Amino acid sequence: MALTSQTLADLRQDYSLRGLDLAELDKDPMVQFQHWLGEAHSHDLIEPNAMTLATVDAMGQPWTRTVLLKVCDARGFTFFTNYKGTKAAHIAAEPRAALTFWWSALERQVNITGRIVQTSREESEAYFASRPLPSQLGAWASPQSSTLETREALEHSFAEQKARFEGHQIPCPEHWGGFCLKPDSIEFWQGRRSRLHDRFRYDRSPGGWGITRLAP
């Protein structure tokens, strides 16, 4: 049943779990992010590492989709994907991108901007080797972002790849691997009552990270 505009207008949540103070933030936003990710993980959320990735095309049109954060370290935020898909084409032409995490049970959002670099072949291969077999086959079987005439065509391609690699270790395709977003800004958002949310943004500067409180 379609929701009426009135129902949508009435959908609202007052956030009351907790606040966020400058004093409790780590000086290093990656360390702060690790704290929050750890808390999201311990809350049994479904895929706490799911993040919205925004890229822009050659016309300046932004596009978003969800990807999974698979490595989070001092370098930045790494996800894995098909290097021939739409997002990879955007990144090749314009390596700036943005990420958003939304952890509703914690009433928290994190917004990140930065530059994307391709991860090393060794890192992609090591991560690929750790994936379950069907995911490995899927990377070979699916020409990500290209047009499919039918669902059967995809299933046929999967069966073909399965037969091809039967009894063999599945190598990481050349067209598959990681991208690491190196952050230039990271904003931590904690929902508060009456829409008076707490927001702190770290901005990278030559002297290190600065932190600013932002109005909600």
Contacts of 212 (CB under 8 A, 6+ apart): 200, 201, 203
Contacts of 29 (CB under 8 A, 6+ apart): 183, 186, 188, 202, 209
Residues numbered 69-88 forming contacts with ligand FMN, rule: CB under 6 A: 79-82, 85-87
- For the bound state, the minimum distance from the C-beta of residue 92 to ligand FMN, rounded and expressed in Å, comes to 12
- 139 binding ligand FMN? (CB under 6 A): no
- For the bound state, the minimum distance from the C-beta of residue 20 to ligand FMN, rounded and expressed in Å, comes to 26
Token pair recorded at residue 45:
């959320």
- For the bound state, the minimum distance from the C-beta of residue 87 to ligand FMN, rounded and expressed in Å, comes to 3
- 108 binding ligand FMN? (CB under 6 A): no
Residue in 65, 101, 60 with CA at minimum distance from that of residue 82: 65
Which CB, 33 or 79, lies closer to ligand FMN? 79
- 145 binding ligand FMN? (CB under 6 A): yes
Q: Which helix (H) or strand (E) holds 131?
A: none
- 124 binding ligand FMN? (CB under 6 A): no
Q: How large is the C-alpha radius of gyration of the chain? A: 20
Reduced to 3 states, what is the DSSP secondary structure of residue 170?
coil
- Per-residue binding string, ligand FMN, 32-71, x by CB under 6 A, is ---------------x--x------------x-xxxx---
Which CB, 10 or 44, lies closer to ligand FMN? 44
Instruction: Determine whether 131 is an active site residue.
Output: no
* CA–CA distance, 170 with 45 (Å, rounded to integer): 31
Which CB, 36 or 79, lies closer to ligand FMN? 79
Token pair recorded at residue 190:
């904690």
* CA–CA distance, 34 with 172 (Å, rounded to integer): 28
Return residues touching ligand FMN (CB under 6 A). 47, 50, 63, 65-68, 79-82, 85-87, 144-145
Active-site residues, by number, are 195
